[in-house]
Chains A and B, each alone.
Chain A
């Protein structure tokens, strides 16, 4: 497995509380992504980063914010968790290929299972 870890791996929280999920990589890859995985929806991109302090929204970014202050860490924050944010969250990374183009393969972390009561 690529050197990607996520913490915590499981979390139960209450509606209205802030939650921060961490993705840590040891591959020095430039691009990092946060997805959520829900039955019937597959993987949906929340936010992504194309460098330190460079982030952009994905298709389901409402209610989420991210920060990337250093290459190896990408944080996902739920400012005020809601039950609709109960999901499994995956982090992924990718890098430029040898041709200089963005590599097509993304490497995924083990996931964080978040339950919002």
Chain B
């Protein structure tokens, strides 16, 4: 069964410090993984997808199939990064085609 685990509900760092939001997944196949972000009073939006290997707002995430992880990293956190971050897995098999499975989310707070 598909499962996404974000072990940290809350994460606090100071401005300029590195930040890593952890995500582990369980999926018997080739996973497609994403990070979504929800800033205060805004809609949930896609931050980045593993397949495009891009860096958005200084964030990167590498898919590690051996460790079944997709951790989100940023070398120098900014106050505007404070938000709720969700890791998500796209299931493309059978009747679950096109469904996203979300982790429970990590609330990141960046202190000045």
Contact = CB atoms under 8 A, between A and B. Distances in A.
The reply to whether chain A is a binding partner of chain B is yes
A42 B86 contact: yes
Interface in A39-73: 40-45, 48, 50, 56, 58
A1 B41 CA distance: 14
Given A42-B103, A110-B43, A94 B98 contact: yes
Say whether chain A's binding surface is mostly helix, strand, loop, or mixed.
strand
Contacts of A31: 98
A92 B86 CA distance: 15
A31 B46 CA distance: 17
Given A42-B102, A42-B105, A44-B102, A104 B49 contact: yes
Given A102-B97, A104-B51, A111-B43, 20 more contacts: A1-B43, A31-B98, A33-B99, A33-B100, A40-B9, A42-B103, A42-B105, A43-B86, A43-B105, A90-B44, A92-B44, A94-B98, A101-B92, A102-B98, A105-B34, A105-B46, A107-B45, A108-B44, A108-B45, A109-B43
Interface of B: 6, 9, 32, 34, 43-46, 49, 51, 86, 90, 92, 95, 97-105
Interface of A: 1, 31, 33, 35, 40-45, 48, 50, 56, 58, 90, 92, 94, 101-102, 104-111
